[in-house]
A and B are shown apart, each in its own frame.
Chain A
């Protein structure tokens, strides 16, 4: 009797432990981990991105009832833009949800470097929309990385294309004022190659984190008088750089920021004095009246379900976060075409991400007209699109001041492949045969 009682108690305990897991396995939910930085040094830039990302996930649930009936669940984890905390968030969230994490988008090149090997082992895709390792565009080596919509190498190439259009670069000077981190150093190889090709001198001026004090850097800019300054900063470094450019009377018209250095938090502290400052617009700028924005207001903000201030819907970084979430959702949707309309594992989502084909019709259907260009990924190409424009701060807002540019893949691809091959050799990764897989 005693044994029977013991067994019954044990069985109940086991059932009680397993019940939530069973229920969770049956739940038609797709879990999305959301790595954010809403506090700390980089929060002014992290918050609007996080708001856009989360709002899009909410919108899919509210407007569409989820992804083909699969509800999205999500959990935010605060990284503070610190690599160690990012890894901690990854470890905590990777197995959450009925099918584990859908994919990670850490909004940090440092965290991306730290996670690249981990995601391959755990079979979870790593989305790095507009950032991350540039060579990870080569899917034959970086099976799990997706630097969708543009890498830093693409960005650097487009910036050089733009200034070269203004006149020959031969004998000119271009200064790169960069965040002294993996993120800031990313464009250097491409700019060095371009310097050889076009015959300009490249001045490399590193700024250490967080970049509050840059007077010495900008005094060097004043002494050297470069023809153009490319700004590769993030967070307070951008506004401090613009401020110091004003202090040394460097013309804002000759300054070009990467797409992470050209949003409202970067120019607002200087406001009118920053007038004329240019930056790359990674397909979008601060549009706020596309179909998707109207839906954000209608389904979320007007019902009190929005994240953050309603007025910020459509800001540059809000749009970036929103598009980042959209690409993750579309990867799930694409994955469902092969694996069924159910919650997908990271491995199945990876297949979706590698077979994305967001054409003009799909862009229209998503309400993203005017803020996104067609994007098509493959085993070889995990970037999917390489287009950008220049937008310029007029003292109060951003507006486009150039036509579309496309990253020159004839120039970039050999560099991407060479670097990816080097990585594969270092890490002893067997390169995929994309011809067989496609």
Chain B
């Protein structure tokens, strides 16, 4: 029983980390109807900025500066890419984010370097063992995983409040529904886009710091986003809590599959299992677990 609990716990913790990245996808989709493929690149860019700044200054200052960089990036994305694409088809905007991805990845490595940059948050690296009397060998708990879970929880709560309770949040949702209609009632589309990309940049920065403290900041962080795609498919593109629940299901599912199915069918399932699960969900519930059902007037 102990090993099973550990696998489930491990899956939940990994799922929380995926959710952190998935939140960025959801935010931009929810507020602008754009599936932002560049979210992974933003995680890398933000983490690189933070890691390099923190080599020269205290971490809080580095965090503020890195956030400044992400706001500047949001402004540039709106100014140089999105502004000229207002009212274009979703697929056009999606492809534009592909371009942004490669540009950001290259620029990040050009400015900040392509080495590994450690982020030390000062947390104990060795795990804690609990319930040793109940289970043989006990259950392992990692402090940094718990911190990631707490951070993700706080982010979800604050984002849910932001979308539901603030005027800006409501404006963001209006823009997502219809660009033109939102503009016609006086919602400043350009400013709204800068805000949402900035908020997404903030989420990317937090995700980048959490992942970077585990693996070191390096290019691979950009690939973490690939794990977040099945998470948003499963949870729903428009749901903040869905990103969390989707992440947890994917996390637990892939760990159980790898540990219990892997030895039977050869292992290496951890990467593709999430996509298999997402495909099944697409067939059964295309809008995801918590996504809004899309109804068009005929």
Q: What residues make up the interface of A, taking CB atoms closer than 8 Å to B?
A: 38-41, 43-44, 47, 180, 204-210, 212-217, 219-220, 222-223, 235-236, 239-240, 243, 246-249, 265, 268-271, 273
Task: With CB as the reference atom, state the residue of chain A lying closest to B263.
Answer: A220
A273→B216 CA distance, assembly (Å): 13
Contacting pair A44 B115 (CB below 8 A): yes
Choose from B216, B262, B270 the contact partner of A269 (Cβ within 8 Å). Answer: B216
Contacting pair A215 B255 (CB below 8 A): yes
A residues near B7, Cβ cutoff 8 Å = 216, 219
Whole-angstrom distance between the Cβ of B73 and the nearest chain A Cβ? 19
B residues near A38, Cβ cutoff 8 Å = 114
B116 within 8 A of A: yes
B180 within 8 A of A: no
A44→B113 CA distance, assembly (Å): 9
A40→B214 CA distance, assembly (Å): 19
Task: With CB as the reference atom, state the residue of chain B lying closest to A180.
Answer: B268
A-B contact pairs, 28 of them (CB 8 A): A43-B109, A43-B115, A43-B218, A43-B219, A44-B114, A47-B115, A206-B266, A207-B270, A212-B224, A213-B271, A214-B270, A215-B13, A216-B7, A216-B11, A216-B255, A216-B259, A217-B270, A219-B10, A223-B3, A236-B220, A239-B116, A240-B214, A240-B215, A246-B126, A247-B142, A248-B127, A268-B216, A273-B125
A235→B286 CA distance, assembly (Å): 36
A residues near B127, Cβ cutoff 8 Å = 246-249
A residues near B30, Cβ cutoff 8 Å = none
A340→B218 CA distance, assembly (Å): 47
Contacting pair A215 B215 (CB below 8 A): no
Contacting pair A222 B118 (CB below 8 A): no
Whole-angstrom distance between the Cβ of A230 and the nearest chain B Cβ? 15
11 other A-B residue contacts (CB within 8 Å) besides A39-B109, A239-B216, A246-B127? A39-B106, A41-B220, A206-B266, A216-B11, A217-B258, A217-B270, A222-B3, A236-B215, A240-B215, A243-B215, A270-B125
Task: With CB as the reference atom, state the residue of chain A lying closest to B266.
Answer: A206
Within 8 A of A (CB), among B113-147: 114-116, 118, 120, 125-127, 129, 137, 140, 142
Whole-angstrom distance between the Cβ of A363 and the nearest chain B Cβ? 31
B residues near A223, Cβ cutoff 8 Å = 3, 259
Contacting pair A249 B268 (CB below 8 A): no
B residues near A43, Cβ cutoff 8 Å = 109, 114-115, 218-219
Choose from A215, A268, A273 the contact partner of B116 (Cβ within 8 Å). Answer: A268
Task: With CB as the reference atom, state the residue of chain A lying closest to B274.
Answer: A213
Contacting pair A222 B254 (CB below 8 A): no
- 4 closest pairs, A vs B, by CB? A269-B216, A216-B258, A236-B220, A206-B268
Q: Give the interface size bracket for B toward A.
A: 35 or more
Contacting pair B270 A216 (CB below 8 A): yes
A residues near B254, Cβ cutoff 8 Å = 216
Task: With CB as the reference atom, state the residue of chain B lying closest to A43.
Answer: B114
A residues near B14, Cβ cutoff 8 Å = 213, 215
Q: Taking A212-B224, A247-B142, A270-B125 as contacts, is the C-beta distance between A205 and B267 under 8 angstroms?
A: yes
A43→B263 CA distance, assembly (Å): 32
A206→B263 CA distance, assembly (Å): 10
Q: Taking A246-B125, A247-B140 as contacts, is the C-beta distance between A208 and B220 under 8 angstroms?
A: no
B223 within 8 A of A: yes
Task: With CB as the reference atom, state the residue of chain B lying closest to A273.
Answer: B125
Contacting pair A39 B114 (CB below 8 A): yes
Within 8 A of A (CB), among B260-282: 262-263, 266-268, 270-272
A220→B221 CA distance, assembly (Å): 24
B227 within 8 A of A: yes
Task: With CB as the reference atom, state the residue of chain B lying closest to A308.
Answer: B115
A39, A44, A205, A213 pick with most chain B CB within 10 angstroms: A213
A222→B4 CA distance, assembly (Å): 12
Contacting pair B3 A219 (CB below 8 A): yes
Task: With CB as the reference atom, state the residue of chain B lying closest to A203.
Answer: B263
Q: Taking A205-B267, A222-B6 as contacts, is the C-beta distance between A210 and B223 under 8 angstroms?
A: yes
B residues near A180, Cβ cutoff 8 Å = 267-268
Whole-angstrom distance between the Cβ of A285 and the nearest chain B Cβ? 19
A residues near B120, Cβ cutoff 8 Å = 271
Whole-angstrom distance between the Cβ of A122 and the nearest chain B Cβ? 31
Choose from A39, A235, A236, A273 the contact partner of B126 (Cβ within 8 Å). Answer: A273
B residues near A220, Cβ cutoff 8 Å = 258-259, 262-263
